[in-house]
Amino acid sequence: MSGPVAVGRLQTLQVYRFLQCVHQGDKEYIHKMVVLGVKNLLNMREPKEGISALHLAATNNYMGEKNTHLELPPPGFLLSLGSQPNTQDHKGRTPAMLAAEQGHEPALTLLAENHADMNLLDAEGKVSGIMASER
């Protein structure tokens, strides 16, 4: 399953601003953008690599309510807003695959608890479990 890719200037600008807000941990602005931004911004992927907000959160292990380096929104916050855990980037990777690849067990557990499909294949035919074992 893949979320929509940003097309056109407005969607592209909004998706990059949204990813910036996720990176900065600005929960208030994230919520505001989800409500007032372009349709399906929460699951929209940026055009270059197909990364969604949940991909970013899982890759950087922004998992707990409190983070050691910054106050960043956990995927649980994004999931509570309706983020789809099985969105795939341009290489077919899901947030769970990226979390497994990085060895982020808390992220992987949270995504699994929120119905991430651990059996989806990426473009190379790998699944989350294989990526975790290759670490």
At 46-57, the pLDDT tens digits run 999 999 999 998
What pLDDT shows up at residue 130? Answer: 56
In a domain, 58, yes or no: yes
Predicted structure pTM score = 0.85
User: Is residue 61 very low, low, confident or very high in pLDDT (cuts 50, 70, 90)?
Assistant: low
C-alpha span between 52 and 31 (Å, rounded): 15
In a domain, 1, yes or no: no
Q: How many Cβ atoms sit within 10 Å of the Cβ of residue 102?
A: 17
In a domain, 2, yes or no: no
Number of domains in the chain: 1
C-alpha span between 104 and 99 (Å, rounded): 5
Amino acid at site 101: E
User: Is residue 12 very low, low, confident or very high in pLDDT (cuts 50, 70, 90)?
Assistant: very high
What is the rounded average pLDDT of the residues 125-130?
74
Output the DSSP codes for 34-90: HHHSSTTGGG-B-TTT---HHHHHHHTT--SSS-SS-----HHHHHHTT--TT---T
Q: How many Cβ atoms sit within 10 Å of the Cβ of residue 23?
A: 16
Whether 129 shows a pLDDT value over 90: the answer reads: no
User: Is residue 73 very low, low, confident or very high in pLDDT (cuts 50, 70, 90)?
Assistant: low
